[in-house]
Amino acid sequence: DIQMTQSPSTLSASVGDRVTITCRASQSMSSWLAWYQQKPGKAPKLLIYKASSLESGVPSRFSGSGSGTDFTLTISSLQPDDFATYYCQQYNNYPWTFGQGTKVEIK
């Protein structure tokens, strides 16, 4: 199985900050990586697919990059609605696996 490791686990930031979350895969993979946002009590929401493609309707302050084993999600200017938990997920090899999540908190 491909293990996905996110860092940091928790991130404290202020509105307007640039935020970067990292996801590392246990083995090299192509760009079949997605990022999701989850708020308490809600289902996850797709933000980014194929490592860097922005899902329709997602604000352009979200961006993704990376290949091989290292991937990043960047929020260019953190907004109040962005405080949530973020998960990466690989769909390169079965079983699909998620990172453990990164909680973005208000500083």
Partner 1 sequence: QVQLVQSGAEVKKPGSSVKVSCKASGGSFSNYAFHWVRQAPGQGLEWMGGIIPIFGTINYAQKFQGRVTITTDESSSTAHMELSSLRSEDTAVYYCASGISGSYYRFDYWGQGTLVTVSS
For 6-23, letters b (16+ CB in 10 Å) and e give beeeebebeeeeebebbb
Q: Which is nearer to partner 1, 10 or 77 (CB)?
A: 10
- The reply to whether 45 sits near partner 1 by the rule CB under 8 A is yes
**SS3 per-residue string spanning 29-48:** ECCCEEEEEECCCCCCEEEE
Can you tell me which of 87, 104, 105, 106 binds partner 1, judged by CB under 8 A?
87
Stretch in the footprint of partner 1 (CB under 8 A) among 15-23, 60-68, 72-80, 94-102: 94-102
**How many degrees, rounded to 5, is the angle at CA 67 between CA 18 and CA 39?**
45
Q: Which is nearer to partner 1, 17 or 96 (CB)?
A: 96
Q: How far is the CB of 45 from partner 1 (least distance, A)?
A: 7
Which residue has 């907004």 as its token pair?
79
Site residues for partner 1 per CB under 8 A: 1, 32, 34, 36, 38, 43-46, 49, 55, 87, 89, 91, 94-101
